[in-house]
Chains A and B, each alone.
Chain A
Amino acid sequence: MTRRPALRHSLLTLAALALVMNALSTSCSGDAVADSDGKVRVVTSAELFADLIRNVGGDRVKVTALVPGHADPHTYEPVPRRVRDVAEADLIIINGVGLEETLAGLIDNNAGKGVPVVEMAAGLPLIGGDPDEPDGNPHLWMNPQYAMRYVERIRDALTHVDPAGEAAYRANADAYIQQLRALDDEIASAVAAIPQDRRKLVTFHDSFPYFAQRYGLDVAGVVVEAPGREPSARDMARLIDRIRDDDIRVVFKEPELNAGLLEMAARDAGARVMTLLNIAYAGDVHSYVELMRFDAQQLVEGLASP
């Protein structure tokens, strides 16, 4: 992804992790912070993450996502109304690894003093590392096993700012992680139905490497490295060649990004276009679990059929 102010975020991440570690090692700490109706105010970047946070926080939290459900967090420019949300948050949870590039300024400038900013992906093993993105690809949540780690960090962060809710957070997290395990198995067996030679994924942008890695798919090509970066003519030519040479019949677009180039490449290469989701919602999908299920269905339908 595009470069972010690495130093500042690293410091914040370390600070947040230190706080979380500290909370784990003491039984009682600090003041419970809550707003007038008693709930913990959490701000996150995407609705998808808000879903995870709600599953852990339950009634004890009030979660706001800075980016609307259908939009793309890589490039979304937040409206000024969101400033208030950030300023009044008790806890800020983001993905990190450069995903929230355009939100960084908003958060840095408006988060209250001492309000923790937690990066869910910090410290996890990353894919990617070409010269443009030394921090790697941020789409870790597409692997449910990483999503489970996200849930654990959410639990710990909530416990830190609201120690009174520790038991509830632990219980909720455990239950949700069970769901995610079941989901993981479900997807694995669905994908297993796809023949080996058809397990080639062409998507609009590079959002599926973790998913591919987990379920044994191969990312055969992408149109753009990151949203906002246009491919050159040669890149397009190589992609079309790849689609043809590997006999890829279906390519996948993402609904929050304009996929004109992908559709054009598909047409020229004789492939079909279907949809996959990676962070933005579409249609009936309103939660993480639904999103992952949807993708599994799409992949089976697109790749498994002749």
Chain B
Amino acid sequence: MKLREERGEELPREGAAVLVEDLWAGYGDRAALQGIAFEAPRSTMVGLVGPNGSGKSTLLKVILGMHGAWRGRVRIFGRPSRDVRLLIGYTPQTEMVDWDFPVTVRDVVTMGRFGRLGPLRWPGSKDKQVVQKCLDRMRLSDLANRQIGELSGGQQRRVLIARALAQEPQVLLLDEPMAGLDATIQHELLSLFEELRDEGKTLLVATHDLSCVSCCFNSVLLMNRRKIAYGEPDRVFTRELLDQAFESHLITLPAEGAFYVEHHGHE
């Protein structure tokens, strides 16, 4: 029997959706996160920005509860992540996924419902409805019965997002959801994220696309293992702070009020 909170039926009225305090975490004896702290309310889109190896993926995993923290706290609606797992949806980077596995698109999206069902319970009609809705929303209905290995990269990405949505989460953690997609699809995804935000959800999106963040996100966490800055994109995307974060590997070319970003020579 899951807590009603876990099923999202009763959430505390006030307080941050996501609260991170003095978070330290790492692998072996290497610290990937050094004292990260920020707070995100409901109905918001937060970008996680930093060079490769800055700990963005690790931060998402720690918030999710998939990776342990050495020090500090993570609270989702005031509770530790492991207590409210079902409220947190997650989309990993696609390189991490086994595409040869004999499952269809629909199977993968349905997996998003498994956390709610215990052993021996099979997905019921409500679950199937939710799955279909997510498939429709991500425009995957035509591909629902294909084996996932048959899909293109963009389609695969959409499957992972659909799975996260099927869970009906309140918080969505997305690890580079737009990487390698063509512009139209990126645009569609962005609209979807805005829709979800307007529905009241909190999205944390790790991304390299600074222009996208600066135009459409509510706040951004600029990090390089430690927090460089957190706040609205206008305030955070200054030359000085960006240089700090990207250690002069980044050249910013302000043009017509928008940022163009080029990355240079990092690992």
Do chains A and B directly touch (beta carbons under 8 Å) in the complex?
no
